[in-house]
A and B are shown apart, each in its own frame.
Chain A
């Protein structure tokens, strides 16, 4: 073996390791503990063997709390930052229906106490074992501007994402993965699956963790069975990351015949639609800070989670994962809070009843446009009105709304907005001003048939365009082309004016 190592080192132009033997011993020690773990019921099964047959029946609403070992006594895991952590491992999921046995980690398990401190339990099913941490977040609690209890009301409006659906608050599953790498390649393993759902007047947050990759199958089987009771999946960027990755993991583990096909609500998309230009980033961690009032203290950056997990794999010390657990937990609750916010927005009620209104005109207009697309005209028009009445604002925002009004045949306001853009005083002429003048010129030429007016606006557009120095995204060539087009317009209008005169 060392031969191979040395041969490779030489080929790679590295100096040959003088004492590879020590490495080997270290390794032998740690792989021994690996195999000890593997001797337990974990026992990895060949990946291409039998398909996973989910045999769970319908999970009724009547929760069977007695079947669960409520570790209510082990509430004591510290941290004041997240109130959610006060309630623990509530008798939530009907474990028996999920064919899952929960128990404390056996005392002879290395670091058993530390696991208990983290309120982590050993979960076992016929595919093996993994670890499960369950928390409760009561309806009266909050980590940001919205109490979790608002979900009861807000959730019904989220049906707007899938107009045919009429889910009740308990039918939404929130999901967020912590993975060992990036992208959806087959070597990227979700080592922690964060799940959250509403039950018994509060949220249950479950975090499934695998102690090593051979436990993945048991964890997936559990998630698979759990998902069957929900109709909706709520994620952040889950359409392109979390869910395709789960899909890939099911295929790899031979479970693809029965993959759950949820109505998926990926909150990244509406977040982008609304905050694209008002927030510098549409990462959940940024949005929650700027718009949901969530403050994380000593949060582990998500990108560092894989490295922590690899350290854990080498040492077995659960303490290394504490920050990962907390990071994922806040991600889950932040996602819930964001979902509540979107639910409120979609409630289509009077503006003033909304807890937190958009505060920048750009955000108001973009929120309005999004709501309009989602079928909430009442609230969107209120937002447009609010935006219009803000005195100083970016021409870009005014144009956004003006183009919407043009499309919706609200010419009166469109004309006012374009005029405002043209009249805006600023040090540098913006391209919006040129465009607004062209729009006005077109309107007066074709609709109002006032050629003199049209000519005047075209001239304004031409002068404005000549004030703009090309640069940035617009090349000199483009500028030249636009000037030529405007010249044509001017000539045509002049000719027409002469013709009618």
Chain B
């Protein structure tokens, strides 16, 4: 039983039992699912497995495989391109390592290329392969090849590395443009391993698909025809996605045979503190409460928060737990802006158990090796079902009970999820979407490809006609046409000007002028206008900084450490014009369209919001240049007749309310960052004069998000209607159409009215 002196339970199940007795917690728990432990499904080691390899596996204590590992081995042996879909910690690396090692032990000339989305993941992988090599006593040369690789060993890796482990960015800018130095690799390449394929989605994924097109073109030049072995987290369309990414049909393996301990999944909805306004207690404060309880129990805990600001807020709150121990480093933050060295240190601390708790953005969602923790608290719904399972999978040691809390925020999406648990538990996770033929992305990579090898008439690269693209590039004077061949003829090195991820090459660095101009972190260009405008409060490792100066040209923000009791939040003003309508449908009073638009966006003001109470205590202007975007959009328009039934003010609140709901539930159907898609309501759209709601992709040319929303238009509106109806508030709240101050007292009613009348 519980230790009466310390209040500590002896184990997880005892603690969970005690939790059930705590009324003040349980009245906020809307769902408590127990996912039973899963027995392992085994398969014998394959017959044809090389004896050396068999020996190495046995030395590691593996004398049988999980069923999915065996199936992956068999499919690879038959020459199929394979994608294995498995949750966290299910032995997925063997699914690709076994076929690769089998090939290399049989044929020492064989080569393989491994791609991971980040450097950290690549380093973990090399350590694992090296362990295999040591056990097999074979001369297997595996090495990472990235920005950190010492120049002195690069030549050796190029000539002799059996397995080269790298990332798409390095492949794009360092390996492919210098392929003549990699003859040994490209002539003998048998396998291309792509782990975390679900991470290659949206703009990044669309770029990577093109990098792979270039890679295959070069392999073909050297006469090789490699086989792809991919691994993915659970998403709805792993086969379709992997196949779009690599441009070839794939064999999907999703019968996970790995065992799992019992898992408790608890939905927690912070209590309503103002019924009228529909305001709930802050999810940050509730998350802190639950996480503190877990940490005090001595359970190693991971807390996921959706934004960098939230990570830092929670970290500040949680570190107060250890304050009497003078910040002993057992509770840490983790997010993209931290410098690599610090991140490696935190990962090590988590594996060794020295770090008891970590607060992270989705940066720790990928397969970075931090070991398995015991408990997980999600501050807010992570945005997708796939991410939720991935993050929750960080907790759960084999044969041990684990727990995950999902603490809902008051956003409509969170409230929808927390009130419809079946939706979460029964629905397949989202689709990963990419558009490798986005014209801007495609043409960028056609340039790189032309640099790498001349194009011959009759070649195919993407969906556009090669001849058209070549003629365009000839006019632009970057290629030169002779006979049936187009040659790169320009001084520049195209890959250097093309970044696969918007965040990677265009980061703003954050410089602390109160501490010897030390660089303390980075922010991607996308977030810079709203995160590090002048006077913004930037929080890093729990410390507050005020931005003193933002050098937009040089991409530098100069900050000074401050101690204030507020944080800042910025607004963005958006103008939108329709250029071209590609698709159109109408039903009743509603017309839905898909086409091209231009968007002009400008940050306008920021608000100062008090810590803990989250009240608005002031504001100021932001002076930054306007940005123009030309992109794909999906919009729908209400008829004049329907518009006539509402006053202009009513229509304003109805559209705004509806837009709020839609912007929050749209990510349900798209595996994308909420920043990737935007929703804009207009009472009188410029092109039609009619009430309209626009959705647009936040990337030039679009990456398929709006297109997908156009396709699921009906489902989208049905779910919006259901969410508004089910909400317990009287006339609108942050959990449905938005707070009263924003949408007025008619917001909820008129939004519903629009939705019900649309089909009359």
Contact = CB atoms under 8 A, between A and B. Distances in A.
Question: Real complex partners, A and B?
Answer: yes
B453 A43 contact: no
Contacts of B475: 5, 23-24, 27
A181 B700 CA distance: 29
A41 interface: no
Contacts of B456: 46
Interface string B450-494: 111110100000001001110110110100111111011111111
B483 A43 contact: yes
B179 interface: yes
B459 to A, nearest CB: 12
Interface string A37-52: 1100011101110000
Contacts of A313: 480, 489
A183 B487 CA distance: 17
Contact of B489 (A10, A48, A310): A310
A213 B480 contact: yes
B483 A182 contact: no
Interface string A270-307: 00000000000000000000000000000000000011
A258 to B, nearest CB: 14
Given A8-B443, A10-B630, A214 B491 contact: no
B43 interface: no
Given A182-B491, A187-B488, A251-B183, A47 B453 contact: yes
A35 B483 CA distance: 5
B440 interface: yes
A153 B178 CA distance: 41
A186 B179 contact: yes
A187 B493 contact: yes
Given A1-B472, A180-B489, A251-B180, A186 B453 contact: yes
Contact of A12 (B440, B469, B483, B485): B440
Contacts of B488: 187, 189
A34 interface: yes
A419 B491 CA distance: 54
A201 B467 CA distance: 53
B439 A7 contact: yes
A31 B454 contact: no
Interface string B599-610: 000000000000
A189 to B, nearest CB: 7
A480 to B, nearest CB: 16
A184 interface: yes
B138 interface: no
A316 to B, nearest CB: 12
B480 A186 contact: no
Interface in A244-288: 247-248, 251-252, 256
Interface in A38-90: 38, 42-44, 46-48
A27 B492 CA distance: 22
Nearest to A13: B628
Given A13-B630, A248-B180, A1 B483 contact: no
B491 to A, nearest CB: 5
A314 B579 contact: no
A31 B179 contact: no
Contact of B177 (A11, A187, A213, A307): A187
A185 interface: yes
Interface string A1-25: 1011101101111000000000110
Identify the interface centre among A37, A42, A185, A307: most chain B CB within 10 Å of its CB.
A185
A310 B453 contact: no
A496 B589 CA distance: 102
B221 interface: yes
B454 A47 contact: yes
A212 interface: yes
Interface string B175-218: 00111110100000000000000000000000000000000000
A140 B323 CA distance: 86
B701 interface: yes
B443 A181 contact: no
Nearest to A248: B180
Contacts of A42: 482-483
Contacts of A182: 491, 493
Contact of B474 (A12, A31, A186, A248): A31
Contacts of B701: 11
B491 A180 contact: yes
Nearest to A27: B475
A186 B440 contact: no
Contacts of B630: 10-13
Contacts of A43: 483
A242 to B, nearest CB: 15
Contact of A34 (B180, B443, B452, B481): B481
From A23, A27, A48, A187, residue with most partner B Cβ within 10 Å? A187
B353 interface: no
A10 B630 CA distance: 7
B452 A247 contact: no
Contacts of A24: 475
A248 B178 CA distance: 8
B46 interface: no
Nearest to B470: A1
B181 A248 contact: yes
A46 B454 CA distance: 10
B177 to A, nearest CB: 4
Given A13-B630, A213-B489, A256 B183 contact: yes
B180 A38 contact: no
B579 A213 contact: no
Given A13-B628, A213-B454, A181 B490 contact: yes
Nearest to B221: A48
Nearest to A187: B451
Given A8-B443, A44-B483, A185 B451 contact: yes
Contacts of A4: 439, 464, 468-469, 472
B722 to A, nearest CB: 37
B485 A186 contact: no
Interface in A97-120: none
Contacts of A37: 482
Contacts of B700: 11-13
A8 B440 contact: yes
Contacts of A212: 480, 482, 487
Interface in B662-713: 700-701
B178 A184 contact: yes
A399 B697 CA distance: 65
B223 interface: yes
B483 A186 contact: no
A4 B494 CA distance: 20
Contacts of A184: 178, 181
A489 to B, nearest CB: 30
Nearest to A249: B180
A211 B180 CA distance: 24
Contact of B483 (A38, A47, A247): A38
Contact of A314 (B439, B452, B477, B487): B477
A213 B487 contact: yes
Interface of B: 177-181, 183, 221-223, 439-440, 443, 450-454, 456, 464, 467-469, 471-472, 474-475, 477, 480-485, 487-494, 579, 596, 628, 630, 700-701
Q: State the 9 A-B residue pairs at the shortest beta-carbon distance, nearest first.
A: A187-B451, A38-B483, A213-B487, A248-B180, A187-B488, A251-B180, A214-B482, A185-B177, A181-B491
Interface of A: 1, 3-5, 7-8, 10-13, 23-24, 27, 31, 34-35, 37-38, 42-44, 46-48, 180-187, 189, 212-214, 247-248, 251-252, 256, 306-307, 310, 313-314
Given A1-B471, A5-B475, 20 more contacts: A4-B439, A4-B464, A4-B469, A4-B472, A10-B630, A11-B439, A12-B700, A44-B484, A46-B456, A181-B490, A181-B492, A186-B452, A212-B487, A213-B482, A214-B482, A214-B487, A248-B181, A251-B183, A252-B180, A307-B491
13 contacts: A8-B439, A10-B596, A13-B700, A43-B483, A181-B490, A182-B493, A185-B177, A186-B180, A186-B452, A212-B480, A251-B183, A252-B180, A307-B491
